[in-house]
A and B are shown apart, each in its own frame.
Chain A
Amino acid sequence: MNLFRSEEHVERWLAGRDPGATIPVATLAELAEAWWRDRLAEDWQPHATAQNQAILDGLGLTGEFWKLP
């Protein structure tokens, strides 16, 4: 899970491998905020899979690639 200079750099780095998913850095920031913001909370509780899937869905990260097990 890396940041790249641009989509062209992703493509070159993949060197023919099957790509994963590329998203804008602004979406990544929103994802991180929703996923990690409670991580140091004193009353932290584990996220349920459905809760995490709802975070992904809410950001438009849908489809087979973003489906949690």
Chain B
Amino acid sequence: MDEADLEIRNLTYRLFAERASAPTVGDVVLESRFSEVEVETAWRRLHDAHALVLEPGRPELLMANPFSAVPTVHRVQAEGRWWFANCAWDAFGICAAFGVDGRIETLCPDCSETLVIGIRDGRPDRDDVVFHCLVPARRWWDDIVFT
């Protein structure tokens, strides 16, 4: 990852965190010294490097892990706002990335019960739920949406 790609990646994340929504290529262009083509090609390289995830066939963000650009069942209240996470791991990651306490709301995939977990100083306020990871680590990026 070269310096320009790193700069575009960091700006993309900063805008996502500031606005609580996924920036577009145009948003990044407006806030930077880069052209639309430069941002778009950098995003493609960052996608290939697993530094963010683009929508299939379109230069639009799907994930800037741990943040999701689209609604999911994993919701997080942190920094006074609500966010969507890509998975339960990422939900905890949103609080970790901001370094703040928060509240996670998700659904048990088996019974659809809403599970609410408070995060205080990086720790969950309950221990009666479990985390299951179905896909082995070597295959996480084979299909990151399924993972």
Chain B residue nearest to A61 (CB atoms) is B137
How far in angstroms is the closest Cβ of chain A from B19? 13
For A4, the chain B residues whose CB sits under 8 A away are 108-110, 129-132
For A19, the chain B residues whose CB sits under 8 A away are 132, 134
What bracket does the count of chain B residues touching chain A fall in?
35 or more
For B113, the chain A residues whose CB sits under 8 A away are 5
A37-48 vs B: 1/0 string, CB under 8 Å? 101101011100
CB atoms of A65 and B137 under 8 A apart: yes
For B141, the chain A residues whose CB sits under 8 A away are 69
B residues neighboring A (CB under 8 Å): 1, 6, 9-10, 13-14, 17, 49, 51, 65-66, 87-90, 92-99, 106, 108-111, 113, 115, 117, 119, 122-124, 126-139, 141, 147
